[in-house]
Structure 1
Amino acid sequence: MEKLTVQDILDADLDGWRRLAQALHARFRTGDFATGLAFVSAVGEAAEAVGHHPDVTLTYGFVDLKLLSHDVGAVTGRDLELARRINEIARKQGIGTATDPLTEVELALDTADIAAVGPFWAALLTGSTDALSGNDVVDPAGRVPLLWFQGTEAHETPRQRFHLDVWVPHDLAERRIAAAVAAGGRVVDDREAPSFVVLADPEGNRACVCTCLER
């Protein structure tokens, strides 16, 4: 399957779905557990019919779905098609979506020696060095956020080495940044917007608000 670009995904105009770090995400407001369970069951039947399956999180008031073609590591046409089928199921069951809560957090660690620190963090976070894949620690069980290593020059001066990458829907990034600034933060660097904007808290600890745009 061909990998889709961000523009391909935006042009598809999928109601309620947003691409975050890699995959398509959607939250469906089911209101109670029984409704959510029935929705998940119907989604499962649709997924089995096309041989492509979403990641599902079922809680009392909502269902979170994530779509990614794992064999190519990207969003493809089959993800868009299944998203459309899921939206039709939701419409028939009277279930709506909400994009405001959609958020994905990744951890980033500055290092000049990935080969040295990568196995340690893979073992610590997942129990196995096999979780180290290139510049990322990926937990196949989904227990911990993705950790990626950002290459940097060796340095001895104390500095912040860890930061959070907070992925939000592209059309809600400005609102999220404004909320953080209103809560006492500040914008440190917005030269790479809308791809990412660097923020800092009142003590100078930094994080990035990231979107899928211009990548």
Structure 2
Amino acid sequence: MNTYAHKDLLEAGLTDWRDLAQGLHARFATGDFAAGLRFVDAVGAAAEEAGHHPDVTLTYPQVDIALVSHDVGAITGRDVELAQRISAIAADQNIEARPADLVQVELALDTADIPGIGPFWAALLHGDTDSLQGGDVVGNARVPLLWFQDTDAHETPRQRFHLDVWVPAELAQERIEAALAAGGTMVDEEAAPAFVVLADAEGNRACVCTTER
């Protein structure tokens, strides 16, 4: 099954959608709960017809939708086709997409002993150790994904946790500049545009990440 990289998705013309850390994401500004319910009902019917089901979050002013092919752990043609169908439903219902509002946060923890500490974090965040899958703790969608960044063993105190803030690729530079203007400093931009490391005034670090390579 073919998978889609960032450049492939640009060519697919998915103007309502952005690829972040875990699949395709979109936010639709429904404006009120009743409109959101009608939209979600139509999306659900399209998903049933396609035999492919998105993650949908309905709140009063908006509907957030995420698509990924879990069986291959990537974005595939099934996701692209359903995303296009959902965008058509939104257009038919006069619902506007808000790609500039999209952001996804992951937690990263430096460790030299993933087998030693991974089960603890899996049990703490999700109640059991089954959610530890390789170097990630995954499960409840309300809990940010936690991934372990392999590092050399060390005793010197240092920051172990950092946030990965995933944004649409075209918004990354704007977000970086806003953080720098608000008192941050640039730590490392060698891997840009994939990720840039920033720090606050006390040296706490975070990464602004995109799927662009």
**Category of TM-score, reference length = shorter chain:** over 0.9
Q: Which residue of the partner structure matches residue 114 of structure 1?
A: 114
SS at match of 1:31: coil
Q: Which residue of the partner structure matches residue 149 of structure 2?
A: 150
Q: What is the CA deviation profile of residues 54-107 of structure 1, one whole-angstrom value per residue up to 9, with x for unaligned ones?
A: 100101111000000111111000100000100110111000111121010000
Q: Which residue of the partner structure matches residue 190 of structure 1?
A: 189
Q: CA RMSD in A?
A: 0.8
Q: Which residue of the partner structure matches residue 15 of structure 2?
A: 15
- Is 2:48 the counterpart of 1:86? no
Q: Which residue of the partner structure matches residue 159 of structure 2?
A: 160
SS at match of 1:100: helix
TM-score normalized with structure 2 length: 0.98
- Is 2:212 the counterpart of 1:213? yes
TM-score normalized with structure 1 length: 0.97
Q: Which residue of the partner structure matches residue 178 of structure 2?
A: 179
Q: How many residues are treated as equivalent by the alignment? A: 213
Give the Å deviation of 1:209: 0.2
Could you tell me which runs of 5 or more consecutive residues in structure 2 were left unpaired when the two chains were aligned: none
SS at match of 1:107: strand
Percent of pairs identical after alignment? Answer: 67
SS at match of 2:71: coil
The 4+ residue runs of structure 1 with deviation greater than 3 A are none
Could you tell me which runs of 5 or more consecutive residues in structure 1 were left unpaired when the two chains were aligned: none
Give the Å deviation of 1:4: 1.7
Q: What is the CA deviation profile of residues 15-34 of structure 1, one whole-angstrom value per residue up to 9, with x for unaligned ones?
A: 11000002000000111110
SS at match of 2:101: coil
Give the Å deviation of 1:162: 0.4
Q: Which residue of the partner structure matches residue 54 of structure 2?
A: 54
SS at match of 1:42: helix
- Is 2:190 the counterpart of 1:199? no
Q: Which residue of the partner structure matches residue 64 of structure 1?
A: 64
Give the Å deviation of 1:187: 1.1
